[in-house]
Chain A
């Protein structure tokens, strides 16, 4: 079974600074997808970024980028120029290429201070 581990229950960052959220996963598959979802206080799950394992290039979406290290099974999320609206729970998720169920980590609560 695939497991996703987020070792940081809480993180804090000042506005305009950069923060990195860590995620590791365990799998014997070679082809899979990784995701970061954001859950603000409204509790809505919002897709932040997605990475296909076969792609060596790290995915980027505006201020959000990932550091995907396939050999190390690591998938960290970097948020640049942090904004107050980035405050939320962030969940890392894994999905096999041939599967459909997303496996989520327990989440990291990000606090953004002025």
Chain B
């Protein structure tokens, strides 16, 4: 059973460009969570999605950030008009159900904004 897949593993963008981060959950998992890790910090929750639904986006900046988890295909975290402060590691996790389930993490995408 393949683990959580994220791509790209590394992404370099110039200020003002768009960044698209993709996450394929583990087989059988329908819940996806995105976290951001700034340098020297722990992970911070951004958004929780189920298929075609955003359940909680309270941890996501109100502007420039959006997330989706379509019926078919991976979950996408999209950052428009990136700024240097967006440079971080973005982790995706998945679980089969919400309650009492461990979240399994992908390898992360390291975003560097020049």
Q: Contacts A101-B56, A102-B35 given: A35-B43 contact, CB under 8 Å?
A: no
Contact partners of A104 in chain B: CB under 8 A: 42-44
Which residues A42-97 have CB closer than 8 A to chain B?
42-47, 50, 52, 91, 93, 97
Partner of A47, one of B40, B102, B107: B102
| 9 pairs of residues in contact across A and B, judged by CB atoms under 8 Å | A46-B105, A50-B102, A91-B42, A93-B42, A97-B99, A97-B100, A100-B98, A101-B48, A103-B45
Q: Tell me, rounded to whole Å, the shortest Cβ–Cβ distance linking A46 to chain B.
A: 8
Q: Is the beta-carbon distance between A44 and B40 smaller than 8 angstroms?
A: no
A43 to B103, CA, bound (A): 16
A106 to B35, CA, bound (A): 14
Q: Contacts A42-B107, A44-B107, A45-B108 given: A100-B102 contact, CB under 8 Å?
A: no
B70 close to chain A: CB less than 8 A: no
B interface residues with partner A (beta carbon < 8 Å):
31, 33, 35, 40-45, 48, 55-56, 59, 89, 91, 93, 98-100, 102-105, 107-108, 110
Q: Nearest residue in A to B104 (C-beta to C-beta)? A: A47
Q: Is the beta-carbon distance between B31 and A105 smaller than 8 angstroms?
A: no
Q: Is the beta-carbon distance between A44 and B105 smaller than 8 angstroms?
A: yes
A interface residues with partner B (beta carbon < 8 Å):
4, 33, 35, 37, 42-47, 50, 52, 91, 93, 97-98, 100-107
Q: Contacts A43-B89, A101-B48, A102-B35 given: A35-B108 contact, CB under 8 Å?
A: no
A33 to B95, CA, bound (A): 15
Q: Nearest residue in B to A46 (C-beta to C-beta)? A: B105
Contact partners of A46 in chain B: CB under 8 A: 105
Q: Contacts A43-B89, A106-B40, A106-B41 given: A100-B110 contact, CB under 8 Å?
A: no
Known: A100-B31, A104-B43. 19 other contacts (CB 8 A): A4-B42, A37-B105, A43-B107, A44-B108, A45-B43, A45-B105, A46-B105, A47-B105, A91-B42, A91-B43, A93-B42, A100-B33, A100-B56, A101-B59, A102-B103, A104-B42, A105-B42, A106-B40, A106-B41
Contact partners of A100 in chain B: CB under 8 A: 31, 33, 48, 55-56, 98
